[in-house]
Amino acid sequence: MKLSLGFSPCPNDTFIFDALVNHKIDTAGLEFDVHLEDVQTLNEWAIEGKLDFSKISYGVLPLVMETYTILSSGGALGKGVGPMLISKALPDLITNQINDLTVAIPGKNTTAHVLFSLAYPEAKHKVFTLFHEIEDAVLQEKVAAGVIIHENRFTYHLKGLHKVVDLGEYWETKLNIPIPLGGILAKKSLSAGLAKQMNTLIKQSIAYAFKHHYDQLADYVEEHAQEMSKEVMRKHIDLYVNAFSTDLGDAGKKAVMTLLDVYRQQHPDEKSGQEVIFID
């Protein structure tokens, strides 16, 4: 059976899925049509119901629960992993004016947008931009500030940019739970048995990666890493691939449900009676 699967080219995702999609583990006859795309594209495809299995930002979950369930493995949650608001100007010049400044956000339906809106509910001028273009937009002063994610949190300071606020830290302080960044969805039209099988295979793929490619990164990770250094790749994996990636557990599920509650408070006009279904 061949199934469509989408995830990002970022090191945490390629580290997680390498053994699965490259048949380093026994996939029990499953084949995958793999799509490596940025998270906003994957979010939009999830809204369209395009792929059988897909990585998404949890910020889009309220819009896709009718079509998808959530796998307990393969996601990105944790503490100290959240998006950051950065600027070219000194932070003191930005903080008190943020509501009236133009801010680049890495996609409308992203966790980063939910967290930014939680910290700055009155911000009026948002520009939704691909995550890898945000630093340049700030440097070129196309925007006054930007919300960065992924590996950019390790490199922004090397370009002379400044942290205004760590939005993940703000979330953790306010709610005292991990930050649910992204998860893996399974289409409801697939059988429950197939979704459970995929959840198990992802766990096995993660275990294989840690056993065989933790010290020496797999070629698959390096070839899709967009020219970042091995040091940054390693930091990226260390930060975003953790126990929650293997299994959400009760704490991870609570974090996802809390994010949904925050989203609904931010979008009171959107009605969603769909139940969140986790596949263990």
> How far, CA to CA in Å, does 8 sit from each of 99, 157, 189?
31, 24, 23
Same domain, 250 and 263: yes
User: Which of 175, 207, 236 delimits the end of a domain?
Assistant: 175
Same domain, 62 and 188: yes
Q: What is the number of residues in the chain?
A: 280
Range of the structural domain that residue 157 is part of: 84-175
DSSP 274: P
Same domain, 23 and 154: no
Kindly list the catalytic residues. 150
Same domain, 101 and 53: no
Same domain, 252 and 207: yes
Into how many domains does the chain fold?
2
The residue with tokens 């979704």 is 195
Same domain, 168 and 89: yes
Same domain, 213 and 197: yes
Same domain, 275 and 159: no
List CB contacts of 140: < 8 A, sequence separation 6 or more. none
Q: What does the mean pLDDT of the chain come to?
A: 92
User: Which of 113, 147, 175 delimits the end of a domain?
Assistant: 175
Cβ neighbour number for residue 211 with a 10 Å cutoff: 9
Backbone torsion region of residue 198, taken as left when φ is above 0, otherwise alpha when ψ lies between -120 and 50, otherwise beta: alpha
pLDDT in tens, 188-246: 999 999 999 999 999 999 999 999 987 788 999 999 987 678 888 898 899 899 999 99
The CATH code of the domain that includes 230 is 3.40.190.10
For residue 261, the model assigns a pLDDT of 92
Higher pLDDT among residues 77 and 82, named by residue: 77
pLDDT in tens, 230-280: 888 898 899 899 999 999 999 999 999 999 999 999 988 776 667 889 999
The pTM score is 0.89
**CA 23, CA 30: separation in Å to the nearest integer?**
9
Same domain, 184 and 273: yes
Same domain, 114 and 88: yes
User: Which of 159, 175, 191 delimits the end of a domain?
Assistant: 175
H helix intervals, 130-191? 134-139, 152-155, 167-175
For residue 131, the model assigns a pLDDT of 82
Same domain, 211 and 148: no
For residue 271, the model assigns a pLDDT of 66
Strand pairing category for 84-87 and 162-166 = antiparallel
Same domain, 234 and 156: no
Tokens of 110: 């992203």
Contact 100, 45 (CB under 8 A): no
